[in-house]
Structure 1
Amino acid sequence: MTTILVTGGTGTLGRLVTERLRADGHEVRVLSRHAEPYAVDLREGGPGLDAAVAGADTVVHCASTPRGGDERAAANLIAAARSAGARHLVYISIVGVDRVPLGYYKAKLAVERLVEESGLGWTVLRTTQFHDLVVQMLEALAKPPVLLLPSGVCDQPIEVAEVAARLAELAAGAPAGRVPDMGGPEVRSFQSLARAYLKATGRRRPSVNIPVPGRTFHALREGGHLTPERAVGKGTFEEYMGRRFGSGSAG
């Protein structure tokens, strides 16, 4: 079996990727800012990063933040992986990074290009949003007494464990370039997702649909972040909510 480095290996996705790879018999190293022995800030690089990559056959790059620095982190990782002779770099990206003009999406697209031009064998997988991210957004929107929802916007949430299984499969294989996208099983309006969230949490909120201007929300209304033709996910939003909140008495 191979030695695989997982960046962001303590995060929502990276932790599950690590568990899956270890269950399949691979030697896995976890890199994150606070996880010894490979506690590394990728934006800074340095000897700790070199030590983490040394001897690794494959690098699965899950570390990411909307707060900035992804491009610098990726450049440092790629340089270290090249120096160490890694054969395969696997990167997780987001459906729509080339169509939705969010700053974070632009950074993810820039990292894709760095990976493609790295000189390493590479694989890039794009997926739709994870269930838990949709819940985070709805939790924020539900704090006021009235739930304000962007009109005309849909989402296609996917189960993170399914993405982790696919990434582990890709990491164990040969470099494959840009592989087919992964989307959740259903394209859902935000209103529908909000109703499911309120029911699962036992909350009551009146909701109002509001038109949101700007290029980003225009792209979202056009479905730039969706991939209905690749609705390969199995786990539904309601199933996730049932596991997380139980019978709906959490509110």
Structure 2
Amino acid sequence: MTENILVTGGTGTLGRHVVDRLAAAGHPARVLSRTREPYIGDLRTGAGLGAALDGVGTVVHLASDPRDSSADVEGTRRLIAATPAGTHLVYISIVGVDRHPYSYYRRKYEAERIVENSGLPYTILRATQFHNLVLFALEALAKAPVLLVPAGTSLQPVEIEEVAERLVELALGAPAGRVPDMGGPEIVSVAELARTYLRVTGRRKPVVPLLMPGRVAAAFRRDAHLAPDHPDGRGTFADFVATAPGRSGYGTRARR
């Protein structure tokens, strides 16, 4: 079968699941990489994008970097500039990016607007935080004698494989614009998520909620990042931790 799908960020935490599911569905995808043959391309400079996009009918744009202020916005602009007219662009975003002051979320929202105004047929899916990222954060916080967590803050974590499944459905379907948000099956306080993590992993230490200052923390307390009307996920955080303690899959390029 002719390859006609390109995945940016295909070697990342979400991207690996998307690529595997596309292959299982009979649609092997090209993975854009700065170093890996044969589809070498760089969203930071635009180099190699034309060749990587040649003959592609769908692009699943997952590449993102919270540490780089230009990665999402400028990278999306360069990708669109190199993408042939009529190509279906599928973009993964985050619930609440249009109402949250967190700088990374604002950049994701700007990238959304670039996609919407690109002239390309597109689909945008917003998802809540992945179980992997929550576990990654709690693993880091649990290194201290006391596990300090933000007070008054809840999350709606979702299983990353379920998001990948939804993205593949969207990539193989017709362009749909911005589709309904995708959230996890339950909204849980960060303190309770921390206690779940400690309980499932057999650890004991105090969990201490701490009121965090600033506009970003206040927005999280207002639940600007939640999708209460879309508890679409099936797997809970407790289920995830029980099968993957210590294996969040996140490193220095964690997103969300």
Letter in 1 for 2:238: E
Q: 1:185 — aligned with what?
A: 185
Partner of 1:152: 152
The separation in 2 between residues aligned to 1:45 and 1:244, in whole angstroms, is 37
Supply the distance in 1 between the matched residues of 2:184 and 2:239 (Cα, whole angstroms).
Answer: 12
Please give the secondary structure, in 1, of the residue aligned with 2:152: coil
C-alpha deviation, 1:44, in angstroms = 1.1
Q: Separation in 1 of the partners of 2:193 and 2:118?
A: 39
- Correspondences of 1:34-183 after superposition (within 5 Å): 34-46=35-47, 48-68=48-68, 69-81=71-83, 84-183=84-183
Structure 1: runs of 5+ lacking an equivalent: 247-251
Following TM superposition, by how much is the alpha carbon of 1:218 offset from its aligned partner in structure 2, in angstroms? Answer: 0.9
Give the aligned partner of residue 224 of structure 2: 224
Deviates more, 1:86-95 or 1:32-41: 32-41
Give 2:53's aligned amino acid: V
> What residue identity is the alignment partner of 2:176?
A
Note if contact 1:56-1:86 (Cα within 8 Å) is conserved in structure 2: no
Please tell me whether residue 29 in structure 1 is matched to residue 33 in structure 2: no
When normalised by structure 1's length, the TM-score is 0.93
Of Structure 1 and Structure 2, the greater helix share is in 1
Deviation at 1:80, TM superposition (A): 0.6
Aligned length: 243
Counterpart amino acid of residue 3 in structure 1: N
1:137-163 deviation per Cα after TM superposition (whole angstroms, max 9, x unaligned): 111211211111111000000000100
Q: Please tell me the residue identity of whatever aligns with 1:165.
A: E
1:149 aligned counterpart, secondary structure: strand
What 5-or-longer segments of structure 2 have no aligned partner?
A: 247-256
TM-score by structure 2 length? 0.92
- Supply the distance in 2 between the matched residues of 1:36 and 1:237 (Cα, whole angstroms): 36
Aligned to 2:252: none
Q: What is the CA–CA distance in structure 1 between the aligned matches of 2:85 and 2:55, rounded to whole Å?
A: 8
- Residue 86 of structure 1 deviates from its aligned partner by 4.6
Contact 1:55 1:86 survives alignment (8 Å)? no
- 1:200: Cα distance to partner? 2.3
* Maintained 8 Å contact 2:33/2:42: yes
Instruction: Measure how far apart 1:33 and its partner are.
Output: 2.5
Question: Alpha-carbon deviations, 1:53-112, whole Å to 9, x = none?
Answer: 11100000000010122111101100011xx33520000000011121111101100000
CA distance in 2: counterparts of 1:158 and 1:136, whole angstroms: 14
Contact 1:184 1:233 in 2 (8 A): yes
| Kept in 1: contact 2:151–2:210 (CA 8 A) | yes
Alignment check: 8 A CA contact 1:58 1:86 kept: no
Give the deviation of 1:179 after TM superposition. 0.1
Residue 235 of structure 1 is matched in structure 2 by 235
